[in-house]
Amino acid sequence: MEHEVLLDIQHVSKSFGLTQALKDVSFQVKQGEIRGIIGENGSGKSTISNIIAGIYGKDEGVIRLNGKELRAATAVEAEAEGIALIVQEIGTIGDISVASNIFLGNEKRFVSKGFINHREMNREAKKALEMIGVSSIAPEDRTDRYNLEERKMIEIAKAFYTHPRLMIVDETANALSSHGRGILYAAIEEVKKYGGTVLFITHDLEELIKICDSVTILRDGVYIDTCYGSDMRINELKVKMVGREMSDHYYRSDVEGSMGEQVVMRVENVFTSMLKNVSLELHEGEILGLGGLSDCGMHELGRLMFGLDQPYAGKVTCTGTDQGLKSPVQAIKRGIGYVSKNRDTEAVILQDSVKNNVCLCSLDKISKLGFASPVQENRFADQWIQKLKVKVNNRGEYVASLSGGNKQKVVLAKWLGRGSRILIFDCPTRGIDIGVKEAIYHLMEELKEQGHAILLISEELPELIGMSDRILIMKDGKIVCETMRGPEITESLLIKEMI
Ligand SMILES: Nc1ncnc2c1ncn2[C@@H]1O[C@H](COP(=O)(O)OP(=O)(O)OP(=O)(O)O)[C@@H](O)[C@H]1O
Ligand SMILES: [Mg+2]
């Protein structure tokens, strides 16, 4: 039984208006197989996942599960067929409880005498969380009091609890720290063990090779190939994905770091509920890396440096003023840009065009005598759409309709376009494909050369080591280690400081 085909996709096509997201895609996945799906941003990975999970309909083709045609028209119907999807963006509702999210659409089983028995539902939700080894999330809490990673844990618990025949994991690992990834990988292994199938979407090819038995490559909505086991070689996969040879090295090539004399931003003895007496200086012409485990306080420090949160004590200042930073508006005026890890709720206006999002922070730059001409705005937007290869039909398209990685590119374009003197990047390449990652790293180098200061908050150690002039490691709300760029810096060295 073990090696029978579970998922059979035949000639599936799907268009959104002018965009043909999938073109005659066919492939099969066996029971007990962990199949990776890779492709550049906008190649159709989320679209095929959403179709299988009943969220989108398909235009053409047939999908069979265990030989039976799958006709699920809603997520709940797909779930009843044994399909669980962990979506790329946030998949939980903020203003309801954790337990309500875990049993969304399935509340019926807790109804007695016409009422939902919440105590029973909470108890079961706790069990679901414990099944994946999470005990720090309370089922009765409102979901939006938890951060992105914790909310992803809730989704993993929800998916795993249903004991799915097919579990689809869309880019989730990207939002997780190494601890969170461990939990996800363990759940995936468990599904494989009982003979279930997993589709695993990622841009991290090293992770993919570790986790997956096989990988399917999509390019521009077209099926390219499937590789198995030892045939999954990073360089060849890259070529299949991108359609051209890729250089091996996309990080900086200089061995020693450098930075300007002038300090452009200072954090002095800052305390918050998370941060304990944190101080740092950011120099012009410097890429300062900030790393640590997800709850070490680095994301909170990034928010503070953009004026999104206020410290109880201590202050954050920029050159030219002793006044502590009070708000994001003030931060923008002082030349600070910020790319949030949580792009959907903090970084873009989904129900507005790509053009308006890109131009939003730069209107004063684009306009002359207080008036922005549409021609100049269009030119500005097009320039950045091209530079970061944002996949859109036209600049008027809404950000909501872009693929995940393309949304991230819009956020980056917004701040890079403004040419902010100080850039705070929290996981800037999250969900971005390798082709464009390279372009973003080159842009960061260019900005550094021009004297901009960049704070690079990252959970990816190769990125931190590869791009930073100096690295700070945080642990439990404190900076515990500072090292300069150099050939002796290794991942294991940094990990030792983190844990
Ligand atoms: N709801 C939608 N409305 C309009 N266009 C859409 C919608 N969803 C996806 N698309 C388009 O379909 C194409 C494929 O998108 P999809 O989200 O499947 O890409 P992806 O491979 O998941 O990319 P990423 O790596 O960036 O997540 C893109 O060009 C995207 O703009
Ligand atoms: Mg996607």
Point out the ligand nearest to the CA of residue 405.
1
For residue 440, what pLDDT band results from cuts at 50, 70 and 90?
confident
pLDDT digits (tens, 9 = 90+) for 281-315: 999 999 999 999 878 999 999 999 999 999 999 99
With a cut of 50, say whether residue 150 has pLDDT above it: yes
Which residue's alpha carbon is at the smallest distance from atom 1 of ligand 1?
401
> What mean pLDDT is reported for the chain?
91
The answer to whether the CB of 202 is under 6 A from ligand 1 is no
CA 385 / ligand 1 centre spacing (Å): 16
Q: At CA 33, angle to CA 28 and CA 34, rounded to 5?
A: 100
Give the pLDDT score at 345. Answer: 64
CA 442 / ligand 2 centre spacing (Å): 24
Count Cα atoms within 13 angstroms, Cβ side, for 164: 26
CA 432 / ligand 1 centre spacing (Å): 13
Pocket test for ligand 1, best of 46, 220, 409 (most atoms within 8 A of CB): 46
Pocket test for ligand 1, best of 19, 48, 169, 436 (most atoms within 8 A of CB): 19
With a cut of 90, say whether residue 434 has pLDDT above it: no
CA 242 / ligand 2 centre spacing (Å): 16
Structural domains for the chain: 5-242 (3.40.50.300), 263-498 (3.40.50.300)
pLDDT digits (tens, 9 = 90+) for 448-499: 999 999 999 998 888 999 999 999 999 999 999 999 999 999 999 999 998 8
Angle at which helices 148-161 and 118-131 pack, to 10 degrees?
A: 100
The answer to whether the CB of 406 is under 6 A from ligand 1 is yes
CA 403 / ligand 1 centre spacing (Å): 4
Contact 437, 250 (CB under 8 A): yes
Residues 499, 150: Cα–Cα separation, whole Å: 19
With a cut of 80, say whether residue 249 has pLDDT above it: no
Sheet holding 276-283, edge to edge: 276-283, 263-271, 313-318
256: its two tokens:
């020693």
pLDDT digits (tens, 9 = 90+) for 383-401: 999 988 888 989 999 998 8
Name 334's Cβ contacts closer than 8 Å, sequence gap at least 6.
318, 320, 321, 325, 422
Name 321's Cβ contacts closer than 8 Å, sequence gap at least 6.
334
State the average pLDDT over residues 101-107. Answer: 90
Residues 324, 466: Cα–Cα separation, whole Å: 32
pLDDT > 70: percent of the chain: 97
CA 179 / ligand 2 centre spacing (Å): 23
The answer to whether the CB of 408 is under 6 A from ligand 1 is no
With a cut of 80, say whether residue 244 has pLDDT above it: no
The answer to whether the CB of 391 is under 6 A from ligand 1 is yes
Contact 470, 305 (CB under 8 A): no
Give the pLDDT score at 3. Answer: 60
The answer to whether the CB of 19 is under 6 A from ligand 1 is yes
**DSSP one-letter code for 107:** G
With a cut of 60, say whether residue 186 has pLDDT above it: yes
Considering only CA atoms, which of 108, 78, 75, 107 is closest in space to residue 91? 75
Please give the full DSSP string across 84-149, using - where no structure is assigned: EEE-SS--S-TTSBHHHHHTTT-GGGGEETTEE-HHHHHHHHHHHHHHTT--SS-TTSBGGGS-HH
Give the pLDDT score at 369. Answer: 67
Task: Ligand 1, residue 40: give the atom nearest the CA.
Answer: 25
CA dihedral 8, 230, 40, 414 (to 10 degrees): 130
CA 75 / ligand 1 centre spacing (Å): 18
- Sequence letter at residue 69: E
Please give the full DSSP string across 268-311, using - where no structure is assigned: EEEE-SS-EEEEEEEETT-EEEEEE-TTSSHHHHHHHTTTSS--
214: its two tokens:
């096989």
Residues 464, 458: Cα–Cα separation, whole Å: 6
The answer to whether the CB of 43 is under 6 A from ligand 1 is yes
With a cut of 70, say whether residue 344 has pLDDT above it: no
Segment among 32-46, 71-85, 344-358 with least mean pLDDT: 344-358
With a cut of 50, say whether residue 84 has pLDDT above it: yes
Residues 465, 264: Cα–Cα separation, whole Å: 22
For residue 1, what pLDDT band results from cuts at 50, 70 and 90?
very low
